[in-house]
Structure formats: structure tokens, C-alpha cells
Amino acid sequence: MQRALDFDKTPALGVPLPFFLNVPAFGLLAGLLATWAGPQAFSSRWTAQALALTHLWTLGILGSAMLGALIQILAVACNVPVTPARAVARTVHALLTLGTLSLAAGFLWWAPWAWTSAVILLGLTFGLYLAALGRALWAHRTQVYKGAREILVPVRGALLALALAVAMGLVMAAALSLGLALPEWVGGHVLWGLLGWGGLLLMGMSFQLLPIFQLTELYPKPLTRWLPLLIPGLLLAWTALDATAGLPRLMLETVELLLAGAYVTWIAASLHRLATRKRPTAEPTTLFWFAGLISLLACAPAWVWLRHGQAAQAAMVLGVLLIVGGLGAIVHGMLYKIVPFLLWKHAQDAMVIPSRDPGQARVYLKVLPKMAAYIPERPARLHWALYVLMVSSWTLAAAGWTPAGQAAGPLLLACAALLAWNLGGALRLYRRTLRAMAALPHHAAAARSSADPR
């Protein structure tokens, strides 16, 4: 595995940043909806409010962050740049934002125009994104960095899963817009979207990011080699069994059990690496990783409860643990690592240091903040604590406890507002730094032009 990242291949700041800023924006929208709906949003996964909340999370919060991060990681870790990065990113970001809002409106108002808009906008979103990444992967297949296979194999599987999940979702949304009967694809849509796209991408990122940023040991080679191949195979087997009538239910449950076992193996390996990391103190990103992995681990007993219990809320609890507690926590934690680094990196790139004036570097360093200054540890830790409390309230609300359902929305609002404040503070510091650098003598005009993040 490649232990280093080639940060010279980092895309322009305007490529991933708008996707990352969608996370608190859609968090605020989801928080407002959950506050307005209250416990009713958790009474069943089929209520309009629950469906709208689910897609605000999966597309607006998780989807935005994952689409932006993947463009970044393919360039710096694999030498697979997406081109033209700015045009693709801007178009995909705009379409995804509008499409997610249309889809949520469709669930809330059950309006044909909203479903139609969502199908068109989201179809264009993911069609363009998948085409751009597929083209990049093919065009740069011979220039991929040695050791990047551990990332590319799960990424390819994740993109395949995303294509299948999106196709199923678009067909179902189109059926709703036309008033037709829904195809029985909900289970496949959920599995390919969460365990395929979300799970495989997260797994691939962990193989690279935990050893580098958390100073952990490398994952075992058999795990990195076979799990990203086994999981898509199991998902295909599940889809085939689910579509075949007359087979014993035990066959489908066996495949589900193997899927759970594959992910539990990865989670256990990840927790072990985090627990034995060489970095002595647990930074906020580490804490979010722990919270997310523990939530994902708790999905295993929730699945047993769903399959063999009589509780109507089991599916709700499983969904909350997977989306809000697992994927959501890790995505939020990675923002506290990625965003400060990108701002620090692009501020450094704004320096203009002629070879004839090496002392200019010392002048710049006096106004360049350290990476840790962009988001101080204390507010990031506060956000982690608040996020854990929010996940607990959503889980209890999903289990049917009414007071937790009343607190779930306000707690998400508080989490999203704090994240927006922390990210906003980092951006304000970045822009103050650019202005201070531009005001330095001799190189003001050059610094301004090279620091433009757009």
C-alpha cells in the first residue's frame, strides 16, 4: 500500500469544498424537518418525514461529502485526476443540491412535479459524475501509483454499487411521478446504496487514511485483497436470491450473515488499529472514527433483531445506526482532517517566493497559521460530544421513546450549526491569511492571483 499522498496533485480548493459545505447546510435542513415532525418522523420508515430525512442524510450530507472526497483522494492517492475537475465539480454539486431538495419535496408533498424534477436532476448528477470518474480511471489506468490497488479495487466496487443504487432509485421515483406501482427494489436500493457504495468507499478510504493520518499499522494484506472483492459478490448473490421466487428464506439470510461478517471483520481490524495507533492522543477525527465504527458494529445485533424479532422499530434503529451513527460520524470526523489540511495547503500554495529572495519565505511564515489553528481542537471535540448525544437520541427515538424523538431534531440542528461555525471559522482564517499575504511587500499582485480558490 502507498503510505504517502502526492499533494502536488491536489485539485483546486473550489472542487471539493462546496461538497463539504453541503454537509452542515443539509444537516440544518434535516434538523429543521426532524424538529417540525417530532416523534412522528420515527414512527415508521415509510412515513413521508422519515423518507425525506433519510434522503437528506444519504444524498445531502453523506453523498455530498463522499462525492467531493473521492475526487480528491483519487488524484492525490492514485494519480487519477478527474478532468475538467472544476467544471465537473460545479455542475455535479449544483445538480445534486437541487435534486436532493426536489426528492425531499417529493416525499413531503407527494407531488408529481417534484418526483419528475428529482429524476431529471439526480439522473444528470450521477450520470455526469460516474462518466467523469469512469473516464479518469480508464485514461490513467497505466499511470496509477504503485500500491494504490488497495484503494482502487473498493472504489471501483463502490462506483458500481452507486450506479446500481441510483438506477433503482430513479426507476422508483419515476414510477411515483407517473402514479405507477413501485417495483420491489427497495431492499436492493438500500443494500447497494449503503453497504455497497457507502461501505466499500469507506473501507477503501480507511486502508489509506488510517495508516497515514492516524499513524496506525497497515491492514493485513489478505483483508485488503479479498474483502473488497467478496462484498460485491455477496451483494450480487443477495440481489439474485431476492429476485428469485420459491427459494428458502434461509439462503437469503445466510448471504446477509456473510455480508455482516465481512463488515464486522473490517470494523474489528479498524478498531484494533485505532486502539494501537502510534499517535498518543485521540484527536477529534479519531474520536469520530471510534464513534462511527462502534455504531456500525452495533448494526449486527440490530440486524438480528430485525430478522428474528417482532419489534416494528428494528428497521428504524438499524437505519439510524448505519446512516447517522456509522457513516455520518466518520464523514463528520474526516471533515475535521480534510478541510483544515486543504486550507493550510492552499494557503501555502499562495506563497510566491522568487529564488533570488529566499528571505521572503520567512516573511510569509510569520502570517501563515499552522494547520491546527484552522479548527481548534476544543470546538471540534465539543462537536464530537454533541454528535454522540445526537446519535443516541436518534437511536432511542427510532426504538420508540417519545422524549428522544422530541429532542432529535434540536440536537441535529445544534450539531449542524456547530459544524457550520467551525468550518466558517476555518474559512474566515483562510481568507484573512490570503489578505495578509497579499499585503506583504513585493509580491502582492502575484499572491492574489495564485491564491484564488475558484
Q: Flag whether 395 is in a domain.
A: yes
Q: Flag whether 318 is in a domain.
A: yes
pLDDT at 358: 61
pLDDT score of 259 more than 50: yes
Element (H, E) at 45: none
pLDDT score of 2 more than 70: no
pLDDT at 444: 42
- Give me the chain's average pLDDT, please: 91
Highest mean pLDDT among 113-127, 133-147, 171-185, 367-381: 113-127
pLDDT at 447: 44
The answer on 285 and 143 residing in a single domain is no
Domain boundary at 121, 147, 173, which? 147
pLDDT score of 428 more than 80: yes
Q: Flag whether 269 is in a domain.
A: no
Pairwise CA distance, residues 163 & 193, whole Å: 9
Q: Which three cell numbers stand for residue 331?
A: 464523514
Q: Flag whether 33 is in a domain.
A: yes
Stretch 176-202: mean pLDDT:
94
Q: Flag whether 7 is in a domain.
A: yes
Residue written as cell 462518466? Answer: 131
The residue range of the domain holding 64 is 1-147
**Does the predicted model carry a pTM greater than 0.85?**
yes
pLDDT score of 267 more than 90: yes
Q: Flag whether 193 is in a domain.
A: no
Residue 82 has φ and ψ, to the nearest 5°, of: -90, 130
If one compares 403 and 349, the residue with the highest pLDDT of the two is 403
pLDDT score of 279 more than 60: yes
Total domain count for the chain? 2
The answer on 431 and 285 residing in a single domain is yes
Stretch 143-164: mean pLDDT:
92
Domain boundary at 147, 163, 191, which? 147
Give pLDDT tens digits for 79-95.
999 999 999 999 999 99
pLDDT score of 263 more than 50: yes
C-alpha distances out from residue 386 to 128, 325, 355, 420, Å? 36, 12, 49, 14
Q: Flag whether 255 is in a domain.
A: no
C-alpha distances out from residue 397 to 52, 239, 393, 407, 438, Å? 17, 31, 6, 9, 51
pLDDT score of 364 more than 80: no
Give pLDDT tens digits for 310-363.
677 899 999 999 999 999 999 999 999 999 999 999 998 877 655 555 666 667
Q: Flag whether 124 is in a domain.
A: yes
pLDDT at 349: 85
pLDDT at 443: 46
pLDDT at 310: 64
Domain boundary at 95, 121, 147, which? 147
